[in-house]
């Protein structure tokens, strides 16, 4: 067996890790722990960010998975076109994306006026907030999930097809379980992206006020100390989901490993 | 050898140029972006042969970032005395001088379905614009009174207008609550909505409305909050309450729409440089640039003097 020591990689990681830690070590130092209390409305912001964030995440997974899978299987011009369609919102800075959403989904916009005829308005309401998070996080989810699907060995899918499995069966029985660890990471990425979304939200859905907008308001009204407190709560409430995703990936890897080693021995 | 001489000559040239030049970093109330970054800043940089850096944001947030020394600047310009008070309390300024003023106005979308009605109302002086604004289904936009002086000022203006024109209840019919989510946005969001025609009308300062080339309804002094002489006997007759960060009610009163400038004691380019910029703003050339951008002359006296 080859003995692998992680130490050299860890040494090389130190510059990056130290840089990442600097702002948060500072946060620990500058937080006024004795005056640690939420500003009025902070609790509400936490509930909105996590509650509506979960709804956005579900919509992102439901609508994003087919796109990601299709992209991983498709070839040719259609694939390039879809790739570009996903890349463009990924490259558009959030602020510009917010302005585009206002222009498109505002009450007099081309898409918004259609909705207005049905009596639906996307101005500063929960639906607008969810839509802002969806636009912010979906391209990231598709990109990460597509890589996860693409990592599934083609030979396995080919074998499935020769044995007569339908596309849906190949997706459900082969791609989905084999890509699960990568998909969990994609979900974690989409979640942090949706929760942290400020640029789109500040332009398109200022209400209901989630944590990023409340951070901005706390700065305006009470100064940086109120920002530090709410940031701690944001981390406390939003870390569990990505941590659970990573734990799932690790458990998944552990469960697979013994089998692989066994087959290697044989 | 020749190379060395060249380097020596160059560095002498650079040093003497930077000794004569005055670099400046200015922070200002967000609504001043156009006049600062496109007119006054470049003009000062050209005159003093230095570089200009401008940063605009909600005036209160900017003041708090400066007061907690998270950012530094040579000069801070606020609208209303409120944000200045934060710097005074932090011991960062001695006094603040008025450099310009503005007034509240109602801008309207030139392509919107109510444009004609607004245009007609703008010509009359009978407050009929209040009725237009209160039309059910009309989309009115304003900034959030919780974090933005302009958002507070439109509430005052509407309260004064219903008194002045004798139309009790008009303010509430228009606003539907002080912080009605359907019409309160962040500054940038409101601007995006106004420019892309997604609101029919929006509350704004006359200066920014003129800068943006939008049609608007000019309001009389009794309503537009621009005249410090009206403050005590008339403006102060209205107030409203908001909840503060502890959830307790606080009562707000009007503050005159005057832009105040102050030199910060921890100015990175020195207080002298900061004072040079303030002097430039008050000079004939500076005032002309303010005027070209739709601002009115400074009103009232200096603060804390």
The stretches in chain A having pLDDT less than 70 are 1-6, 257-266
Token digits for B252? 């707000």
Are residues B28 and B164 part of one domain?
no
Are residues B161 and B89 part of one domain?
no
B138 to chain A, any CB pair closer than 8 A? The answer is no
- Give per-residue pLDDT as tens, B189-211: 898 898 889 999 999 999 988 88
Q: What is the mean pLDDT of residues B250-268?
A: 94
CA distance A168 to chain B (A): 43
- What residues contact B173, with CB distance under 8 A and at least 6 apart? B134
Are residues B269 and B237 part of one domain?
no
DSSP B247-294: S-EEEE-----EEEEEE-TT-TT-HHHHHHHHHHHHSHHHHHHHHHTT
A17 burial level (CB within 10 Å; 0-12, 13-18, 19+): exposed
pLDDT recorded at residue A234: 94
Cβ-contact B78, B63 below 8 angstroms? yes
Using the predicted structure, report yes or no on whether residue B254 has a pLDDT greater than 70: yes
Are residues B236 and B157 part of one domain?
yes
Cβ neighbours of A220 in B, within 8 Å: 58, 60-61, 64, 146-148
- What residues contact B275, with CB distance under 8 A and at least 6 apart? B263
Are residues B238 and B219 part of one domain?
yes
CA distance A57 to chain B (A): 24
Cβ of A213 and B186 within 8 Å?
yes
Measuring CA to CA, which residue among A99, A101, A198, A86 is closest to residue A141? A86
A99 to chain B, any CB pair closer than 8 A? The answer is yes
Are residues B117 and B235 part of one domain?
yes
Expressed as residue numbers, the domain containing B223 is: 104-252
CA geometry: angle A225, A230, A235, nearest 5 deg: 130
Number of domains chain B contains: 2
A208 to chain B, any CB pair closer than 8 A? The answer is yes
Q: Which helix (H) or strand (E) holds A70?
A: helix A42-73
pLDDT recorded at residue B2: 63
Cβ-contact A144, A186 below 8 angstroms? yes
Between B78 and B5, the higher pLDDT residue: B78
Q: In the predicted model, what is the mean pLDDT of chain B? A: 90
**Within a domain: B269:** yes
B250 to chain A, any CB pair closer than 8 A? The answer is no
pLDDT recorded at residue B19: 46
Of A143-147, A221-225, B44-48, B269-273, least confident by mean pLDDT is A221-225
Cα A177 to chain centroid, rounded: 20
The rounded distance, in Å, linking the Cα atoms of B162 and B281 is 36
Cβ of B193 and A223 within 8 Å?
no
pLDDT recorded at residue B42: 94
The rounded distance, in Å, linking the Cα atoms of B230 and B222 is 7
Q: Which helix (H) or strand (E) holds B19?
A: helix B2-20
pLDDT recorded at residue B149: 85
Mutation site, A119, A203, A229, interface B, largest B CB count within 10 A: A203
**Residue whose structure tokens are 């309160």:** B184
Cβ-contact A249, A185 below 8 angstroms? yes
**Within a domain: B129:** yes
Indicate whether this model's pTM tops 0.90. Answer: no
Q: What is the CA radius of gyration of chain B?
A: 22
Sequence ranges of the domains in chain A: 40-257
Are residues B156 and B53 part of one domain?
no
ipTM comes to 0.77
- What residues contact A58, with CB distance under 8 A and at least 6 apart? none
Phi, psi of B252 (to 5 degrees): -105, 145
From chain A residues 37-96, the ones with a CB under 8 A of any chain B CB are 39-41, 95
Cross-strand partners of B75: B26, B263
Measuring CA to CA, which residue among B21, B65, B67 is closest to residue B44? B21
Q: What is the mean pLDDT of residues B286-303?
A: 93
CA dihedral sign of residues B247, B253, B259, B265: negative
Token digits for B185? 């946005």
CATH architecture entry for A40-257 = Orthogonal Bundle (1.10)
CA geometry: angle B221, B225, B230, nearest 5 deg: 65
Name the band, by pLDDT with cuts 50, 70 and 90, for residue B187.
confident
Using the predicted structure, report yes or no on whether residue B10 has a pLDDT greater than 60: no
**Residue whose structure tokens are 């102050």:** B262
**Residue whose structure tokens are 């084999």:** A178
Are residues B118 and B34 part of one domain?
no
CATH number at residue B176: 3.40.190.10
Q: What is the mean pLDDT of residues B226-243?
A: 90
Cβ neighbours of B147 in A, within 8 Å: 216-217, 220-221
**Within a domain: B17:** no
Are residues B245 and B143 part of one domain?
yes
Cβ of A202 and B197 within 8 Å?
no
DSSP A113-179: HHHHHTT---SSSHHHHHHHHHHHHHHHHHHHHHHHHHTS-HHHHHHHHHTT--HHHIIIIIIHHHH
The rounded distance, in Å, linking the Cα atoms of B22 and B17 is 10
pLDDT recorded at residue B192: 86
- Give per-residue pLDDT as tens, B132-152: 999 999 999 999 998 888 999
Residue B106 three-state SS: strand
Measuring CA to CA, which residue among B52, B54, B86 is closest to residue B69? B86
Are residues B114 and B241 part of one domain?
yes
B234 to chain A, any CB pair closer than 8 A? The answer is no
DSSP class of residue B298? P
Cβ neighbours of B144 in A, within 8 Å: 206, 217
Are residues B274 and B221 part of one domain?
no
Token digits for B269? 């380019």
**Residue whose structure tokens are 């400020």:** A198
**Within a domain: B157:** yes
Measuring CA to CA, which residue among A200, A195, A197 is closest to residue A105? A200
Are residues B115 and B236 part of one domain?
yes
Token digits for A182? 């990568």
Using the predicted structure, report yes or no on whether residue B274 has a pLDDT greater than 70: yes
pLDDT recorded at residue B247: 85
Name the band, by pLDDT with cuts 50, 70 and 90, for residue B18.
very low
A212 to chain B, any CB pair closer than 8 A? The answer is no
Name the band, by pLDDT with cuts 50, 70 and 90, for residue B15.
very low
Q: Which helix (H) or strand (E) holds A211?
A: helix A211-222
pLDDT recorded at residue A6: 67
Between B56 and A92, the higher pLDDT residue: A92
């Amino acid at each position: 067996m080859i003995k692998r020591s992680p130490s050299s990689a860890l040494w090389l990681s130190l510059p990056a890790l130290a840089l990442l830690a600097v702002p948060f070590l500072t946060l620990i130092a500058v937080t006024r722990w004795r005056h640690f209390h939420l500003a009025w409305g902070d609790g509400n912001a936490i509930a909105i960010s996590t509650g509506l964030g979960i709804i956005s995440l579900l919509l992102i997974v439901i609508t994003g998975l087919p796109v990601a899978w299709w992209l991983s299987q498709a070839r040719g011009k259609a694939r390039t076109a879809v790739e570009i369609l996903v890349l463009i919102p990924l490259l558009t800075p959030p602020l510009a994306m917010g302005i585009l959403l206002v222009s498109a989904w505002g009450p007099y916009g081309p898409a918004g006026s259609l909705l207005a005829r049905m009596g639906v308005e996307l101005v500063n309401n929960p639906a607008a907030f969810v839509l802002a998070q969806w636009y912010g996080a979906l391209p990231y989810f598709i990109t990460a999930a597509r890589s996860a699907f693409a990592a599934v060995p083609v030979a396995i899918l080919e074998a499935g097809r020769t044995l007569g499995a339908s596309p849906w069966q190949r997706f459900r029985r082969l791609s989905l379980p084999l890509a699960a660890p990568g998909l969990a990471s994609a979900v974690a990425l989409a979640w942090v992206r949706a929760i942290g979304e400020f640029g789109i939200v500040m332009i398109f859905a200022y209400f209901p006020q989630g944590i990023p907008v409340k951070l901005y308001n706390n700065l305006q009204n009470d100064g940086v100390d109120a920002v530090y407190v709410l940031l701690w709560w944001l981390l406390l409430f939003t870390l569990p989901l990505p941590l659970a995703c990573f734990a799932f990936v690790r458990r998944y890897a552990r469960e697979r490993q013994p089998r692989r080693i066994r087959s290697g021995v044989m | 050898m020749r190379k060395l001489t060249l380097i020596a000559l160059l560095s002498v040239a650079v040093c003497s140029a930077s000794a004569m030049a005055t670099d400046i970093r200015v922070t200002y109330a967000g609504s001043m972006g156009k006049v600062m970054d496109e007119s006054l800043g470049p003009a000062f940089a050209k005159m003093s042969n230095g570089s200009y850096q401008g940063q605009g944001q909600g005036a209160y947030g900017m003041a708090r970032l400066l007061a907690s020394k998270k950012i530094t600047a040579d000069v801070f310009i606020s609208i209303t005395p409120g944000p200045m008070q934060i710097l005074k309390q932090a011991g960062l300024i001695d006094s603040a001088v008025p450099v310009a003023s503005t007034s509240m106005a109602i801008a309207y979308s030139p392509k919107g379905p109510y444009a004609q009605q607004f245009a007609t109302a703008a010509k009359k002086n009978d407050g009929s614009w209040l009725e237009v604004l209160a039309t059910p289904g009309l989309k009115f936009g304003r900034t959030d009174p919780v974090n933005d002086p302009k958002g507070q000022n439109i509430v005052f203006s509407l309260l004064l207008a219903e008194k002045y024109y004798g139309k009790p209840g008009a303010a509430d019919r228009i606003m539907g609550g002080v912080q009605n989510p359907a019409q309160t946005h962040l500054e940038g969001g409101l601007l995006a909505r106004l420019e892309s025609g997604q609101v029919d009308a929006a509350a704004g300062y006359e200066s920014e409305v003129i800068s943006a080339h939008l049609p608007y309804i000019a309001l009389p002094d009794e309503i537009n909050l621009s005249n410090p002489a009206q403050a005590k006997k008339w403006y102060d007759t209205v107030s409203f309450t908001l909840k503060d960060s502890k959830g307790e009610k606080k009562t707000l009163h009007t503050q005159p729409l005057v832009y105040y400038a102050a030199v910060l004691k921890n100015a990175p380019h020195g207080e002298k440089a900061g004072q040079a910029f303030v002097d430039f703003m008050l000079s004939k050339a500076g005032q002309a640039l303010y005027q070209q951008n739709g601002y009115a002359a400074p009103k009232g006296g200096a603060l804390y003097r």
